[in-house]
């Protein structure tokens, strides 16, 4: 019957009919102890949850339906408290309205979870991939991070007996984990973001630029600077110099992060598809955010290895790569030859110096190594480059890095001059 109501556009009536029928069958002890029966109920929860954003009265109608059926249950007192709160005329009206809406969403979510646990614990009916998909989707729509993480961890626990569950879920809903990440971050739960992120990588699931940016911001919020570095290393084939490793050798913020990254590099080497799909998700906004964080945490020696790796995965030919650590662009050469942009001159403090590379040599190298138009667009834009130049030349950054920021600035300038000249600030 619910499917008929939903097809005809009567989602609210279908929800009322389905919830009422399940409660009636439970009270009469004739409920069908099959996963599909509960999935039908969870589908009805989802159908009305979809109405909340477009119809301001939807959540009010949902609460009224729940209160009609839930009298005498543990939800009854909570339902009554919602109606009582509307009588507090002394409160700020806008804040009171927001709190009332939040309470209604929580009531809706708690009713959903009550049925989830009735299914799983009271009747010992095992959830399947559709159950997890429906319940998690609804909790994301209702912005309930704690409930969502409980169900998500249940799903991961179920993988011990059936590892195909997660792949069935994401074949039906490829964006579910990404939506979870967004919801957890918006609800100030950065630790949940990182838990989801580790699973995204472990299972080789889809990663998009927004999810990477949220992961980086979550790490920043928690102060996990080493995790920022390690997570980027799982996306790009970064090769660190010995000095870089020494300068940034520190205990990982996450107790098992080193083991995770070690395993990821083996996967990375073995699978070209991982390289192309994950690395291509590192767009210029993600890279700019990452580089700014490296400067913030005084890990500036990560900048050039990361840009080298980023260029490598975006280059049409492996011959177009350049070793930034060899004599071609040493810090001394960079200081003397990075003179194309007046802004770059100011930031690299190279006024009055003569270039050690002849113009013909530079022109030849630019012609040989310049990327295609699409690669040029993909790189950092002028505003991003200008911002990085300013940050690296800031007095506090120079002092904190013991002058290393000047060397990195010169290397960065030369790198951009040769490979991405259109990104140099005018």
Q: For residue 161, what pLDDT band results from cuts at 50, 70 and 90?
A: confident
Q: What separation in angstroms does the CA of 25 have from each of 5, 22, 342?
A: 20, 5, 78
Is the separation of the CB atoms in 275 and 268 below 8 Å? yes
Above 60 in pLDDT, residue 84?
no
d(CA 217, CA 222): 9
Above 70 in pLDDT, residue 364?
no
Residue range 280-286: average pLDDT? Answer: 92
d(CA 276, CA 308): 16
Q: Tell me which residue of 136, 129, 79, 145 sits closest to 112, measured CA to CA.
A: 136
Minimum mean pLDDT among 46-55, 113-122, 214-223, 360-369: which range?
A: 360-369
Per domain, the residue ranges of the chain are 1-173, 180-310, 315-426
Residue 403 C-alpha from the chain's centroid: 33
Tell me, what's the pLDDT at 324?
Answer: 42
What is the Cβ-side half-sphere exposure of residue 269, based on CA atoms within 13 angstroms?
7
Minimum mean pLDDT among 56-60, 81-85, 284-288: which range?
A: 81-85
End-to-end CA distance of the chain: 67
Tell me, what's the pLDDT at 397?
Answer: 97
- The torsion angle over the Cα atoms of residues 92, 98, 104 and 110, rounded to 10 degrees, is -110
Tell me, what's the pLDDT at 330?
Answer: 44
Q: Find the helix packing angle between 382-393 and 284-296, rounded to 10°.
A: 0
Q: For residue 83, what pLDDT band results from cuts at 50, 70 and 90?
A: low
Is the separation of the CB atoms in 408 and 392 below 8 Å? yes
Tell me, what's the pLDDT at 331?
Answer: 44
If you ran DSSP here, which 8-state letter would residue 316 be given?
A: S
pLDDT tens digits for 130-147? 999 999 999 999 999 999
Tell me, what's the pLDDT at 242?
Answer: 43
Above 70 in pLDDT, residue 129?
yes
Above 60 in pLDDT, residue 388?
yes
d(CA 322, CA 316): 14
Above 90 in pLDDT, residue 118?
yes
If you ran DSSP here, which 8-state letter would residue 372 be given?
A: P
pLDDT tens digits for 339-360? 434 444 444 443 333 333 333 4
């Amino acid at each position: 019957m619910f499917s008929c109501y939903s097809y005809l556009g009567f989602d609210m009536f279908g929800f009322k009919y389905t919830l009422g029928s399940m409660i009636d069958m439970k009270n009469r002890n004739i409920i069908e102890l099959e996963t599909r029966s509960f999935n039908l109920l969870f589908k009805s929860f989802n159908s009305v949850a979809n109405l909340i954003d477009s119809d301001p009265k939807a959540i009010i109608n949902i609460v009224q339906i729940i209160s009609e059926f839930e009298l005498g249950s543990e939800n009854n007192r909570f339902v009554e408290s919602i109606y009582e709160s509307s009588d507090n005329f002394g409160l700020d009206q806008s804040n009171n309205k927001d709190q009332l809406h939040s309470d209604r969403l929580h009531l809706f979510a708690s009713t959903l979870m009550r049925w989830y646990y009735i299914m799983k614990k009271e009747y010992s009916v095992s959830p399947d991939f559709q159950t997890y998909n429906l319940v998690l989707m609804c909790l994301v729509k209702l912005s309930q991070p704690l409930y969502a993480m409980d169900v998500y961890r249940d799903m991961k626990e179920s993988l011990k007996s059936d590892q195909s569950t997660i792949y069935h879920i994401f074949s039906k809903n490829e964006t579910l984990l990404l939506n979870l990440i967004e919801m957890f971050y918006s609800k100030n739960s950065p630790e949940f973001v990182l838990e989801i992120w580790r699973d995204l990588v472990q299972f080789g699931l889809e990663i998009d630029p927004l999810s990477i940016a949220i992961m980086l911001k979550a790490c920043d919020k928690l102060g996990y600077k080493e995790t920022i570095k390690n997570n980027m290393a799982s996306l790009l084939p970064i090769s660190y110099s010995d000095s870089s490793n020494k300068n940034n050798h520190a205990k990982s913020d996450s107790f098992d992060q080193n083991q995770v990254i070690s395993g990821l590099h083996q996967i990375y080497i073995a699978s070209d598809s991982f390289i192309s799909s994950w690395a291509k998700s590192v767009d210029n906004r993600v890279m700019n955010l990452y580089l700014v964080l490296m400067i913030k945490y005084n890990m500036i020696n990560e900048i050039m290895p990361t840009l080298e790796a980023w260029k490598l995965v975006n280059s049409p030919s492996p011959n177009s790569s350049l070793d930034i650590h060899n004599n071609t662009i040493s810090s001394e050469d960079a200081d003397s030859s990075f003179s194309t942009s007046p802004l770059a001159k100011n930031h690299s403090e190279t006024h009055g110096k003569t270039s050690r590379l002849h113009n013909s040599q530079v022109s030849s190298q630019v012609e040989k190594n310049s990327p295609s138009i699409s690669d040029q667009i993909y790189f950092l834009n002028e505003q991003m480059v200008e911002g990085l130049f300013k940050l690296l030349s800031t007095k506090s950054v120079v002092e904190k890095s013991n002058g290393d920021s000047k060397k990195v600035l010169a290397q960065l300038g030369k790198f951009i001059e040769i490979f991405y000249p259109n990104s140099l600030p005018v």
